Amino acid sequence: MQVSTILSFIDAGHLALPEFQRGYVWNRDQVRDLMGSLYRRHPVGTLLVWATESKGAEYRGDGAIAPGVVKLILDGQQRITTLYGIIRGRPPRFFDGDEAAFTDLYFHLGSEEFAFYSPIKMRDDPLWIGVTRLMQDELAPFFQTLSGDPNGNEYVNRLNRVMGIRNVDLHIEEVAGEDKTIDVVVDIFNKVNSGGTTLSKGDLALAKICAGWPDARDAMKGHLARWREFGFHFSLDWLLRVVNTVLTGEARFNALHDVDSERFEDGLRRGVRCADDLLNLVSSRFGLDHQQVLFGRFAFPVMARWLDRQGGKLPEAAESDRLLYWYLHSALWGRYSASTETTIDRDLEVLASAGNDVEALLRELQLWRGELAIRPDHFGGWSLGARFYPMLYLMTRTTQSKDWGTGLELKKGLLGKHNRLEVHHIFPKSLLYRSGHGYTRSQVNAVANFAFLTRQSNLDIGNRPPEEYLPEIEERFPGALASQWIPIDRELWRIDRYLDFLESRKLLLARAANQIVDGLLHDRPLPEVPRGEVPEELIEAPEPEPVPLTLPGGIETEEEEAQLLRINDWLVAQGLPEGEFLFEIQDPDTAEPTAILDLAWPYGLQEGRSQPVTLLLDEGREALAAANAAGYRYFQSVEAFMNYIRDEIRPGMAAQDEAFTA
């Protein structure tokens, strides 16, 4: 079927999008690639549609569909939406996304490339032609531009080839038959999309909710956008899980299948209120005030159920603190890192059987984990992926830890989200690697070598050896070092005593961490667990295993760090977003870290318009594969990254800058 016919079918209501489909997620890179392939008449894949009765069909958007049989797009939504937006100059009725991804696309008659409008690049070059205008106005307006040009005939041929995209035939396959229920169709959809984004059980549950409340998805996205403004990025599935547990007391999404729209709307209101209160609670009590330090997010559905059963009001501080004790230990030991849904259901069942008593959760935690003490070796994990990285951040923000450049206390809420603390390596990595003592990567990047400082203090210290700068800090701000658990023995500040320094600081950190966490119990003992109920393996081996110590990725040398700092500063000066250093990527199902990205933009350099990108310097195949699997476009050199910015993000911008040629 020709592209133009497909678009006419959409306008007439014969072709629509099923409610269970996710919204438009393509970025400008993908739009440009599609148009380039169609221009060259390369194959762009088959479309798959579901032929079903219009009556009772659950479809996206507020437009009417044609009576009789309607065809719902199962595979090809992104391609069809892109073509509709470019050719019609507006998104289709079922659109849900950022239309800037396909707005202002231009074609160059000389180079035959597609690019999005850039005044610097295109202003004085008449060979750049707006694709949407061409599709709607035909050739006549462009004849004057081309008249007299020696290549005019060839340019006209190229314009005709662009316009001919409307006549490209796309092969369509149909799924039809009375046996094709929505569950069967979703299974087909997931198999077809096995190499891309498959539908989750949450998508199907939400589709059925949207059939009765069409604005449900938009309402949920509004809450996610609000949290994003405060630095927390949650998925639609996460919010749906919170609503599900509040409404049904179950984690599995099929529990929502019998929930009507009115009840769901009430559950969303209650779930969001509980999530807000819980986020405020962990932020105000622990300083966990942004995405990268908020660990244990799969504990929130359980806590939301508990809070909702309390009438939506937090009880007295002592009771809330015992819940926070449970939350911290659940997060530290990865309570939900495997079999997430099953574990959430188990904890919800425990809560229900105990009349919503937190003590039951604490008892279950002990049965699962055994000893809950934090030990020095737990601070020996390395990279930001270690669970004790957010624990160290929590300790810094909730005690009287002082900044080493100003002497000010780094209290929670003191700096605001635009002035977050930065990781400082007490012993600079470059000095450790060059010391000749053979320190390993895991030793150099141990959490016990981290401190949190303001950015300016971090920059001022630079790569100076600790035996040089630590005495200066102690002289200027007495007690500032002790406030960040630095051993006072100055002999341990020497490079050759680094491992001894780590052992000493790990002891101090573990002691302080236990004091903070145990203080949440308010001197009330944990509920007793009869020995006969403790799993045999915990009796025989009560010592918990340390958290995983290795992850692929991470910054190793002074040169790498300097390059990344310079390009980050330069990007900010150009009005582009600052990247996140040592960014942890996680398995979407288990939330377990898979790699550490040197410098990453998880939402792209143009949020909603470009894909996630990362700059990975001198990394192995494992880190590159993890980044690719997580949907990141990765660059292995500053030059390649700068060319990407010049060619695709800011066309016309110089590929290099004085900061990088010095």
The pLDDT of residue 532: 53
The pLDDT of residue 550: 59
The pLDDT of residue 543: 41
Q: Which residue has the higher pLDDT, 407 or 545?
A: 407
Identify the DSSP state of 104.
S
Is the model's pLDDT at 239 over the cut of 70?
yes
Is the model's pLDDT at 488 over the cut of 90?
yes
258, exposed or middle or buried, with CB in 10 Å at 0-12, 13-18, 19+? exposed
| Gap between the Cα atoms of 153 and 142, Å rounded | 12
Q: Given pLDDT bands bounded at 50, 70 and 90, which one contains residue 178? A: low
Is the model's pLDDT at 576 over the cut of 70?
yes
For the chain, what is the mean pLDDT?
Answer: 84
3-state secondary structure of 422: strand
Closest CA to 126 of 140, 104, 144: 144
**Mean predicted confidence (pLDDT) in 223-231:** 89
User: Who's near 10: CB < 8 A, 6+ residues apart?
Assistant: 16, 80, 84, 92, 93
Is the model's pLDDT at 76 over the cut of 50?
yes
Of 302-306, 324-328, 581-585, the one with minimum mean pLDDT is 581-585
Structural domain boundaries in the chain? 3-175, 200-369, 377-540, 558-661
**Rg of the chain in Å (alpha carbons):** 28
Q: Given pLDDT bands bounded at 50, 70 and 90, which one contains residue 47? A: confident
Percentage of the chain surpassing pLDDT 90? 42
Closest CA to 579 of 597, 554, 591: 597
Q: Given pLDDT bands bounded at 50, 70 and 90, which one contains residue 151? A: confident
Identify the DSSP state of 317.
H
| Gap between the Cα atoms of 10 and 450, Å rounded | 57
Q: Given pLDDT bands bounded at 50, 70 and 90, which one contains residue 383? A: low
The pLDDT of residue 549: 41
State how far the alpha carbon of 451 is from the alpha carbons of 255, 381, 392, in Å.
Answer: 45, 14, 8
Please, are residues 383 and 552 in contact by the beta-carbon 8 Å criterion?
Answer: no
The pLDDT of residue 417: 42
Q: Which residue has the higher pLDDT, 656 or 471?
A: 471
Is the model's pLDDT at 194 over the cut of 60?
no
DSSP characters for 57-101?
--BSSSS---SSEEEEEEE-HHHHHHHHHHHHSS--TT--S-GGG
Q: Given pLDDT bands bounded at 50, 70 and 90, which one contains residue 175? A: confident
**Torsion sign across C-alpha atoms 531, 534, 539, 544:** negative
The pLDDT tens digits of the residues spanning 587-631 come to: 655 556 688 888 888 878 876 556 789 999 988 888 898 888 888
Is the model's pLDDT at 542 over the cut of 50?
no
The pLDDT of residue 336: 84
Q: Return the structure tokens found at 235.
A: 């998925």
Predicted TM-score (pTM) of this structure: 0.69
Closest CA to 390 of 292, 321, 482, 510: 292
Is the model's pLDDT at 309 over the cut of 90?
yes
CA 127 from centre of chain: 39
Q: Which residue has the higher pLDDT, 381 or 362?
A: 362
Q: How far from each other are the two terminal CA atoms of the chain, in whole angstroms?
A: 56
Please, are residues 132 and 105 in contact by the beta-carbon 8 Å criterion?
Answer: yes
The pLDDT of residue 609: 59
Q: Which residue has the higher pLDDT, 205 or 16?
A: 16
Is the model's pLDDT at 280 over the cut of 50?
yes
148, exposed or middle or buried, with CB in 10 Å at 0-12, 13-18, 19+? exposed
Is the model's pLDDT at 385 over the cut of 60?
no
408, exposed or middle or buried, with CB in 10 Å at 0-12, 13-18, 19+? middle
Percentage of the chain surpassing pLDDT 70? 84
The pLDDT of residue 541: 38
3-state DSSP percent of the chain in helix, strand and coil, to 5: 50, 10, 40
Strands across the sheet containing 633-635: 580-586, 593-601, 613-615, 633-635
Most confidently modeled of 102-111, 329-338, 409-418, 563-572?
A: 102-111
**Mean predicted confidence (pLDDT) in 459-481:** 95
Q: Which amino acid is at 72?
A: L
**Alpha-carbon torsion angle 647, 129, 609, 611, nearest 10:** -40
3-state secondary structure of 654: coil
Q: Return the structure tokens found at 62.
A: 């507020």
Most confidently modeled of 116-130, 174-188, 426-440, 634-648?
A: 426-440
Identify the DSSP state of 445.
T
The pLDDT of residue 492: 97
**Mean predicted confidence (pLDDT) in 543-555:** 55
Q: Given pLDDT bands bounded at 50, 70 and 90, which one contains residue 185? A: low
**Mean predicted confidence (pLDDT) in 538-565:** 60
Identify the DSSP state of 548.
P
**Mean predicted confidence (pLDDT) in 292-297:** 85
